[in-house]
Structure 1
Amino acid sequence: MNFVFVPGVNHGGWCWHPVGQRVRAAGHAVYALTLPGLAMGDDPSGLRLTDAVDHIVGEVERRDLHDVVLVGHSFAGIPISGAAPRILGRLAHVAFLSAFIPRRGESMAAALGPDTAAWMQSMVHASPDDTIDIDFETFSTRLMQDEPVELQKLVFDQLTPQPGGYVLDSLDVDGLDTLGVPMAYLLAERDIALAASGIELAGRLGLEPIMVPGTHEAMLTHPDDVAKALLTSTGG
């Protein structure tokens, strides 16, 4: 199978490398994407959610991948939900790790509640390049709480400001439960960063979550467990 990994807010493909190495060792091809605007040196201004969706579709088609396992973390649950219907004939499975499962017309900002949405909008509009960033206190207490400070700082230093359009835009697509593609929802046991409970989010797909240890950054702190759960749930 061809595993295509998509990262969440402020992250690049690098965040999937530990899991990807283990999946590759199990005999599969692995592709860890970095969405436009999130590689060092990219120009993030003006990018919209459609650009993220188009990039995922474009990479799968450019590489002519089939038997694809499309995997998204956090925010990436939104663009992979937009990409999946467009590459349906190439898909074998869709998997989520502590990911947003979008409702039609609901942006990531809106999913986080009106106060957070208003704050995100103000941050994007005040930014010279239309981005939104995260501070270390929020990252260390909400996304990677209780992990060693040295590790928190190491991961934080890899982060890149997020194109604002990615979090302010929404999709106008049916839920993935209508596609007839096998799916799995992995949920980190100590994740406190999601807009709703993982059980509710998995339930939007008609699934029960598969629990893995760790916080929102479980793919970095517990790659053995995440890789094993992914391989087991996708038949790999």
Structure 2
Amino acid sequence: MSGTGSTYVLIPGAWHGGWSWRPVAERLRAAGHRAVCLTLPGLGDGDDPSGIGLVDAVEHVVSEVGRLAVTDVVLVAHSWGGYPAAGAAHRLSDRVAKVVLYAAQIPVRGRSLLDDNPPEAAAMLRGLIDASPTRAIPPSLQFVQGIFMPDAEEETQRVVAELLTPQPGNYFLDALDVPTVTELGIPALYILGEDDHALPRPGAEFAARLGLEPLMIPGTHEGLLTHPDELAEAILNH
């Protein structure tokens, strides 16, 4: 999608808001494109995450694309954002020109994210949801340091941890009953960081669900913050 005038709608991963896509968005804009960074319901600063479900995230993406009034949107999703992206692509198949998945989890039809996680990880996440009065999973510095960006400087890790917001639990508990984007006939690209060890399954396994091989770039799971040049280049030129 290297032609001028494309519209990129950037969907963040769990615990993240639109702020996480800003470095990449600035580079897409500098290349002459429109870039819109979404913050999904419950993940804005001060949002109440209780009672929010995956259908709300999907609806938000669909609504924002409708507001843009364009017919050649490129959906770009990070990590858990692969779930709302899949649901929105199903609703917007006539308006989405391409879907780009960056270190994204690719849903299996009828299975929630927790259903698709290894049992030990799923049990840990369910426990955090059940222990929360708002049924949301709180972020933590330890998670950022150990999983998201273990190679970053501690100051950077602390800044990112402070920016994260609680993840609505139903985002992980709800399932989608939709085909994959490639089954819909929408062109797709899967990008993966060379040092990303945050995903519950190998990134190549998620890419294979779409019949794709991952395009490898430098960085960990937070390459959208630490390697925005390489990620923007991959989005624009592949």
Normalising by the residue count of structure 2, what TM-score does the alignment of the two structures yield? 0.95
1:208 Cα deviation from its structure 2 partner: 1.1
Per-residue CA distance 1:50-85 (angstroms, 9 max, x = gap): 111111001111221321000000000111011101
Equivalent residue pairs, number = 233
- Equivalent residues of 1:35, 1:52 under 8 A apart: yes
TM-score in terms of structure 1 length? 0.96
Match of 1:117 among 114, 122, 125: 122
How far has the Cα of 1:201 moved from its partner? 1.0
**2:51 matched residue in structure 1:** 46
Partner of 1:20: 25
C-alpha contact 2:42 2:167 (8 A) present in aligned 1: yes
User: Which of 183, 193, 197 is the equivalent residue of 1:178?
Assistant: 183
Counterparts of 1:110 and 1:214, CA distance in 2: 28
Residue identity opposite 2:30 in structure 1: A
Secondary structure, aligned partner of 1:226 = helix
Moved more, 194-203 or 118-127: 118-127
1:200 maps to what in 2?
A: 205
Partner of 1:91: 96
| AA of the residue aligned to 2:116 | A
Task: Measure, in 2, the Cα distance between the counterparts of 1:63 and 1:9.
Answer: 24
Aligned pairs (5 A) from 1:193-232 = 193-232=198-237
Taking the aligned partners of 1:66 and 1:29, their CA distance within structure 2 comes to 13
RMSD: 1.0
Inter-partner Cα distance in structure 2 for 1:71 and 1:218: 14
Equivalent residue letter for 2:98: H
Instruction: Give the drift of 1:119.
Output: 2.0
- Separation of aligned partners in 2, 1:129 and 1:66: 37
1:135-170 Cα distance to aligned partner (Å, 9 max, x none)? 211221111011111111111110000011001111
For residue 18 of structure 1, report the CA deviation from its aligned partner: 0.1
1:58 aligns with 2:68: no
Matched with 2:75 is: 70
Runs of 4+ in 1 over 6 A off after TM superposition: none
The 5 A counterparts of 1:125-140 are 125-140=130-145
Q: Does the Cα contact within 8 Å between 1:47 and 1:165 map onto a contact in 2?
A: yes
State the distance in 1 between where 2:126 and 2:165 align: 18
Decide which moves more: 140-149 or 16-25.
140-149
Alpha-carbon deviation of 1:177? 1.7
Confirm whether residue 145 of structure 1 aligns to residue 145 of structure 2: no
Q: What amino acid does structure 1 have at the position aligned with 2:157?
A: Q
1:218 positional shift: 0.4
Which residue number in structure 2 is paired with residue 156 of structure 1?
Answer: 161
Using the TM superposition, name which of 28-37 and 168-177 deviates more: 168-177
Distance 2:114 2:138 in 1: 13
Between the aligned residues of both structures, percent identity stands at: 49
